[in-house]
Structure 1
Amino acid sequence: MNHSIESPKPSDYLELVAVWEASVRATHHFLKEEDILYFKPLILNTYLEAVKLRCIRIENRIVGFMGVADHNLEMLFIHPDFIGQGVGKQLLQYSINHLKVQKVDVNEQNKQAVGFYLHCGFQVVSRSELDATGKPYPILHMELKS
């Protein structure tokens, strides 16, 4: 099922953060509560402004969104009620076709996301022991196969 992809407005940011939090709680079981509380204001106040955002709404509700910068998929989060329904795949295909995404960094412990990106044609090219904030969550650096 294809839904229209749109650019959210700053007035949508609280809803995006709610989708982010619901998605993270459903998929990032390795994160501690204090990590979620640490990242939440960063998402709202810093990260959303640093990327080209696109989202999908169903019945006027944002159900998934992504952020892209420099051909990197920096974020892709789907509300847990819509995981497995093609929303993530549609956003990813849009990012590749329209925003020229070539790379994505994924938490190694998020096996569902790693499998999703492998299935969609990405391959692991390197690994970092720490995430970008220096926390001990290994990151897989993936690139789209040519």
Structure 2
Amino acid sequence: MIRKYVEKDIDSVLDIWLEVSIQAHDFVAADFWQSQLDNMRNVYLPMSESYVYEVDSKIVGFYSLYENLLAAIFVSSDYQGKGIGKQLINDAKKHRSSLTLSVFKENDASHRFYVSQGFEVVTEQVDVHTGQAEYTMRLVK
């Protein structure tokens, strides 16, 4: 079930974000992601419109929108490959008429997933925080 994020969800969401960020971005030092926890807690999540995915009252995924940017979408590693990411993307599409996102170029699995969900690469740039190449993608209607 997908529902609107509420403040009491913060620890579950941050746990998923950190776990999956480290796992999916092994080309970025784990301590970088750990150093971003306070920003996620105090800046990014409060600024965003977020939704969580629950299985048996346990949060197993979430996504965050900031204006028309899909700023985050994460599914706990134990629940990946079960269609939850697709459901989260489809829910995000209901909330915005256009969507963009950024994905690290080296994160091939996520890039392929976004292409399969109707996104295309529009630019390539370097992420200022990590120095890694990334794509900006947009939803094709």
| TM-score normalised per structure 2 | 0.94
SS at match of 2:5: coil
Structure 2 residue 26 is matched with structure 1 residue 9: no
Task: Give 1:41-60 correspondences, 5 Å limit.
Answer: 41-60=38-57
Structure 2 residue 97 is matched with structure 1 residue 116: no
Task: Give 1:122-141 correspondences, 5 Å limit.
Answer: 122-131=119-128, 133=129, 135-141=130-136
Structure 2 residue 101 is matched with structure 1 residue 104: yes
| Aligned residues of 2:22 and 2:30 also touching (Cα < 8 A) | no
* Number of the residue aligned with 2:139: 144
Q: Which runs of 5+ in 1 are unaligned?
A: none
Q: Which runs of 5+ in 2 are unaligned?
A: none
Deviations 1:44-92 (A, max 9, x none): 1111011100011101110000000111100001100011111111000
Q: Which amino acid aligns with 1:63?
A: V
Deviation at 1:101, TM superposition (A): 4.1
Q: Which among 1, 22, 26 is matched to residue 25 of structure 1?
A: 22
SS at match of 2:33: helix
| Structure 1: distance between partners of 2:120 and 2:77 | 25
How many percent identity over aligned positions?
23
SS at match of 1:30: coil
| Structure 1: distance between partners of 2:41 and 2:85 | 21
Deviation at 1:114, TM superposition (A): 0.4
Q: Which amino acid aligns with 2:7?
A: P
Deviation at 1:99, TM superposition (A): 3.1
Q: Tell me the matched-pair count.
A: 141
| Structure 1: distance between partners of 2:124 and 2:11 | 32
| Structure 2: distance between partners of 1:82 and 1:101 | 27
| Aligned residues of 2:48 and 2:66 also touching (Cα < 8 A) | yes
* 1:101–1:18 CA distance, 2 compared to 1 (3 A): farther
| Aligned residues of 1:77 and 1:88 also touching (Cα < 8 A) | yes
Question: How well do the aligned residues superpose, as a CA RMSD in angstroms?
Answer: 1.3
